[in-house]
Amino acid sequence: MDSLSNQFVMGTLQFLSTLFVFAIGTVVLVAIVLFILDVSQTGDAVRRNYPVLGRFRYLFSALGEFFRQYFFAMDREEMPFNRAEREWIDRAAKSKDNTVAFGSTKSLTPPGTAIFVNCPFPTLSEDASQVEALEIGPYAREPYEAPSLFNISGMSYGALSTPAVRALSNGARMAGCWLNTGEGGLSPHHLEGGCDIVFQIGTAKYGVRGKDGLMSDEKLKEVAAHPQVKMFELKMSQGAKPGKGGILPGIKVTPEIAAIRGIPEGRDSISPNRHPEIDNAAQMLDVIERIRSVTGKPTGFKAVVGAFGWIETMCKEIHARGIKSAPDFITIDSGDGGTGAAPMPLMDNVGLPVKESLPLVVDILQRYGLRERIRIICSGKLITPSEVAWALAAGADFVTSARGFMFSLGCIQALKCNRNTCPTGITTHNKRLQRGLNPESKAVRVAGYCKNMIHEVEVLAHSCGVKRPRLLRRMHVRIVQDNGKSIAMDELYPGPEVLPQYRAEGAAKSAQPTAAQ
């Protein structure tokens, strides 16, 4: 028996030693092959000068995002969203206790920081008012009573996965907010949850394009026939890529997505830089009126603001045509907005941040007596209660968020949205990766994030002494300046008087109060 045991032990040791020698030999052989490849290639100077070792540079660079996120970055340091913001959303989505202890980790001294001015006699809970529904499109055949001030911004099916869209649709219904389709068209997954839908029309007209590639009235009527579709949004430009159309890599253009968009399967989906038929403000109003007339639904447009003289030109054109010709809403996107794929020069350097563009647009509409006619929707990197409350105080009627709701789905900011390798299944069409995203449980998180966002915006409003969030005004916010002192936002943006020639016409053009009143 002992002899057999010894033989087994010796045999095992011999096998392990052989395996070890084989492994070492394999490593040496691979190193030799890599050495030969590196010294013989001419495309990479580092690998040519430091064969094999130079390859570790790319490995460490690829792992850098991971190590910075989990080990080295402080709670408020990461970009585009820091750990404190992401953790707040995670707790809100799970409806967990969202209080913190000891003290804030947010610095209140950097220039541009918004500080809300608390009231010595805050609103009591029993005196608070519920967030009211707000009518959009008083001259449309089917005006929309929008119930929620916080809603889901445009994210296309294609950029997002099937389970992600299903979760958003069901979550939006549970929260009572709307879901914007993004420019990728209307899919069955958007309709599945039964939520209110805003149909976005991008420059390629996906979902409403005819065989000639132009917008089709028949397709518009087909989309509008769905009772869940409440509004149409003409996408003029997007914060992350102003001057550039939508980009969907061919690897994400599945047969279903190709059919919905009306494009070839497996080929890059590149939208035109702008709507070919819109070259000025007057032509934009023509298209808006066409969509509204065909569909009967409120119609507006989305744009990131850079140059703004065209907005004044639009206002003058509206008065020349009549107040009914105005867009029913304007969605203002921020120059630091997000997307699935965009050129870095556009993402980093083009378009005004919403902190500047929102007050600017609100004031132009106010000057021309159109603020009560046109609803303002604010979009772009507004994912926490303080940011949403700031937008309402600056003059917005509604706030929409895309990346905030992505975090509620479980996004970990892996920055892989454009590669079809999203580890959480949100922006990939890889079935194996999608298995990790359960639409039923994630829908509850989507609803939780929306509801808790509105609740905490109400908390901020009550602290400022008003009964509901849309009563926040610029005087309730102070902005930190370069000298370290703060100044009231209504001093930075005092809000202009209506021009005399437009006072009478703009005075009674809305059936409902707005945030600007």
Report the DSSP beta bridge partners of residue 426. Answer: none
- Name the residue among 391, 327, 329, 326 with its Cα closest to residue 357: 391
Contact 131, 373 (CB under 8 A): no
* Three-class DSSP category at 69: helix
pLDDT of residue 146: 97
* Three-class DSSP category at 12: helix
Q: Peptide bond preceding 80: is omega within 30 degrees of 0, i.e. cis?
A: yes
Cβ contacts of 249 within 8 Å, gap of 6 or more: 268, 341, 418, 419, 420
**Quick one: 125-506 is in which CATH superfamily?**
Aldolase class I (3.20.20.70)
Report the DSSP beta bridge partners of residue 352. Answer: none
pLDDT of residue 408: 93
Report the DSSP beta bridge partners of residue 333. Answer: 304
CA distance 450 to 150: 7
User: 344-389: per-residue pLDDT in tens?
Assistant: 666 666 778 899 999 999 999 999 999 999 999 999 889 999 999 9
pLDDT of residue 49: 78
- Name the residue among 95, 169, 86 with its Cα closest to residue 454: 95
What's the distance, CA 391 to chain centroid? Answer: 15
- Name the residue among 197, 164, 54 with its Cα closest to residue 405: 164
- Name the residue among 194, 214, 217, 198 with its Cα closest to residue 206: 214
What's the distance, CA 452 to chain centroid? Answer: 18
In which region does residue 194 sit, left (phi positive, over 0), alpha (psi from -120 to 50) or beta (all else)? left
Q: Which residues of 24-34 are buried (b: 16+ CB within 10 A; e: fewer)?
A: eeeeeeeeeeb
pLDDT < 70 positions in the chain:
1-4, 8, 58-79, 239-245, 337-349, 504-517
Phi and psi, residue 304, nearest 5°: -95, 135
pLDDT of residue 341: 61
β-strand 477-480 against 398-401: which pairing, if any? unpaired
Query: Could you tell me the two tokens for 298?
Result: 């409120």
Domain ranges for the chain: 2-72, 125-506
User: 37-54: per-residue pLDDT in tens?
Assistant: 888 887 777 777 778 887
Q: What is the DSSP code (8-state) at residue 289?
A: H
